[in-house]
Structure 1
Amino acid sequence: MNEINSRRLLKEDYTKSCKDLAVYLLGKTLIRQLENGELLKGKIVETECYLGGEDKASHSYNGKVTKRNEPMYMPSGTTYVYVLYFGYHCLNISSEEPGACVLIRSLEVVSGREVMEQLRVAKIKNISKTIKTTDLCNGPSKLCIAMDITRESLNKFDLTNPYNSQMWIEEQESDEEMAVINTSRIGLGPSAEEWKAAPLRYYILNNKNVSKRDKKAEKELMFLY
């Protein structure tokens, strides 16, 4: 069996524009080490850009700076973990432009499946059945629960530090070709209505762990091949 070589992403890997970083992160492995030493791993299969500036869907729209969105203005590779309603979290990573970040939308489980399921089930009341592997991390809040990522533990976290042991991202050598779908974002509020069609979401074609497919965009891409 051939040995698979992997390396941890460093500062220079994250120093990219938001759009470039969103595509670059696809296929990379997000690794979370729990306090007991357990390693949870998931391949990044879907990302989404939030550009700041004129992007009305961004928390940094029009250059807004608050205590909450400070990580969006921190150096590339800094995590921005914010809280949605009912205590759900979302994981973002800052890019090189001030106020811009990439939302990690979906993962494909690589290892630690049983622990991920336990964490998800513990968050869901009155559940009596197991969760399908493809449903464990197919959404930004789902993956945060499954990887035990919270604002309290991992906000403003420096992913570029080669010595940190709580969370990092790796890439592996691979000859596998990866087709990427570029499509619109999901779940934007009415204040960002005109930004709904902006092609700022990216996902790996034919991956079953993606939160929402764009079949029209997939057909168009397949036609090019």
Structure 2
Amino acid sequence: MEEIPTKRPRVELLNDVHSHPAKSNEKDETYSEEQYSSMSKYFQKSVRRLKSDFYEQPCITLAKNLLGQILVRKLPDGTELRGRIVETESYLGGEDQASHSRGGKQTERNMAMFMKPGTMYVYQIYGMYFCMNISSQGDGAAVLLRSLEPLEGLHHMQTFRRNLRKSNSKPLKNKDLCNGPSKLCQAMVLDKSFDRRDLVTDPMAWLEEEENKIADKDIVSCERVGIGNAGVWTSKPLRFYIRGNIYVSIRDKTAEA
């Protein structure tokens, strides 16, 4: 359930967001005019915050239905960052040997997995990276958010990611901003302080409904990423992503075929 980063950035974590005053809707020159026109129409649509009944689903069902929904992070200065969920993983608890809650054992670290559906479970790895999960129905079950398609606040996302990389690093491509569990947490400024918080009521992080549901035929089911020796659970198809989406972290061409 833990993501192994490709690079180890400096241990300096997220800087004060107020030190980066650029507007969240500032144009990113790597997008075409057509893409920006499409995005502008998207932002004009009425979207709504998902309520508690959305999260009251079995873990696998929730993992699939999260695809296409919008993760929103409101910064202290009122700026809102948005990204569409394009990749998830289910961790079922109990007999799932790859889950932090395997065996049904509740600990201080995994407590959020046993809380009401829609609770954020944010854990830290290597002392500097974070991964965000959402609790579902089922004792100790939760969905890991693996990748986002960045929609709003890209300049801020670039800044937050750059602060955790080498100073001479080249600017990231848009598709590389949030294509991994720890990457999306860096870009969206999600850390351990969000652990056990409720997505239904939290003022700084929530999900908004996307009106166009992802069709079953457009969802790829495959093995989870980075699972070590978890027996038969290593190869179970519990990772889900939107077919053809360039923001997915790792494609499974065998599963796609």
TM-score (norm 1): 0.91
Please provide the CA RMSD for this pair.
1.6
- Per-residue deviation, 1:9: 0.5
Give the CA deviation at 1:5.
2.8
2:200 aligned residue: 160
- The yes-or-no answer on 1:215 pairing with 2:215 is no
1:169 aligns with 2:226: no
CA distance in 1, matches of 2:131, 2:169: 26
Q: Does structure 2 conserve the Cα–Cα contact (< 8 Å) formed by 1:5 and 1:173?
A: no
Equivalent pair of 1:42/1:110 in contact (CA under 8 Å)? yes
2:234 alignment partner, one of 180, 196, 206: 196
State the alpha-carbon separation in 2 of the partners of residues 68 and 206 from structure 1.
35
Cα distance in 1, alignment partners of residues 129 and 110 from structure 2 = 16
More strand by share: 1
Alpha carbons of structure 1 residues 133 and 121: separation in structure 2 relative to 1, 3 Å:
same
| 1:149 to 1:175, Cα distance in 2 relative to 1, 3 A | closer
Counterpart pick for 2:224 among 178, 185, 188: 185
State the partner residue of 1:72: 113
Shift of 1:218: 1.2
Aligned-pair distance for 1:193? 4.0
Judged with a 3 Å threshold, the aligned counterparts in structure 2 of structure 1 residues 184 and 34 are, in CA distance, closer, same or farther, namely same
Question: Residue 30 of structure 1 aligns to which amino acid in structure 2?
Answer: L
Could you tell me how far 1:87 is from its partner in structure 2?
1.3
- Take 1:85 and 1:193, find their aligned partners in 2: how far apart are those partners? 24
Asked whether the 8 Å contact 2:118–2:135 carries over to 1, the reply is yes
Instruction: List alignment gaps of at least 5 residues for structure 1.
Output: 220-225
Q: Give the match's secondary structure for 1:182.
A: strand
One-letter amino acid of the structure 1 residue matched with residue 219 of structure 2: V
Identity value in percent: 47
How far residue 175 of structure 1 moved from its aligned partner, in angstroms, is: 7.5
Q: 1:158 to 1:175 in 2, by over 3 A?
A: closer
Displacement after TM superposition at 1:194 (Å):
2.8
Matched, 1:30 2:46: no
For the structure 1 residues 39 and 127, does the alpha-carbon distance in structure 2 shift closer, same or farther, using more than 3 Å as the test? same
| CA distance, structure 2, for counterparts of residue 202 and residue 150 of structure 1 | 24
